Amino acid sequence: MTFVDVMPETKFAAEIGWLAERGIARGWDLPDGSKEFRPVTPVARDAMAAFLYRLADEPDFDAPEVSPFTDVSTDNQFYKEIAWLHAERISTGWDNGDGTYSFRPLEPIARDAMAAFLFRLADPQDVQAPATSSFTDVAPGQDFFTEISWLASTGIATGWVGNDGTSIYRPLEHVNRDAMAAFMQRWATREG
């Protein structure tokens, strides 16, 4: 599968191609029969669920008749994938304060939450948070510090070099689809 908006010089073109070859990314159908990937579009949380389910080789899973999330109906395009994330404890969603939870399927996923999802999908054993951070904008004790540190230690996340030469992660920024392709390809081919 090729995407009309991904050229050889597109950042992460090889990683996007890797996702397409494996059926993890299917893109958007255009009227002429071609497909777009939309590489610089933020990944919505429902699409993230679909990516992770496919990355896990689409395991057998019967979605429940009642949604685990108040804002995800059972006829949602990615209901099965979102319910699977919940069943596998990859995503717990947000506590609504009344015993129910919401998933916020159309919101873009932030880089810190993406780190948590990939960490939980990998389920690495005996991971200890390091004493210091690989990134100047992610401090020990911060939400998802262990998960972000694990991404850095495995080479899944490399971050950016800041103006002062230090590495930054930008934990609250949205993940674009091209970067998500790189994260997932590195996740699947990591050692350890």
Is the model's pLDDT at 171 over the cut of 80?
yes
In whole angstroms, what is the distance from residue 118 CA to residue 114 CA?
Answer: 6
Q: Residue 10 pLDDT more than 70?
A: yes
Q: What is the pLDDT averaged over residues 84-92?
A: 96
pLDDT at residue 165 in the model: 84
Given this model, what pLDDT does residue 1 score?
61
Length of the chain: 192
Whose tokens are 């210091």? That residue is 132
* One-letter identity of residue 129: A
pLDDT higher at 164 or 156: 156
For residue 192, pLDDT beyond 80: no
> To the nearest whole number, what is the mean pLDDT of the chain?
94
Beta bridge partners of 108: 44
What confidence tens digit (pLDDT) does each residue in 31-43 have? 999 999 999 999 9
Over 80: is that where the pLDDT of 114 sits? yes
Domain locations in the chain as residue ranges = 44-107, 109-175
Of 2, 11, 32, 23, which is closest to residue 188 (Cα–Cα)?
23
pLDDT of residue 2: 84
Provide the whole-model pTM: 0.91
Residue 162's pLDDT is what? 78
Contact by Cβ (8 Å): 138, 145: yes
The CB density around residue 117, as the number of other CB atoms within 10 Å, is: 21
CA-to-CA distance for 95 and 100, rounded, in angstroms?
A: 6
User: For 62-82, what is each residue's pLDDT tens digit?
Assistant: 999 999 999 999 999 999 999
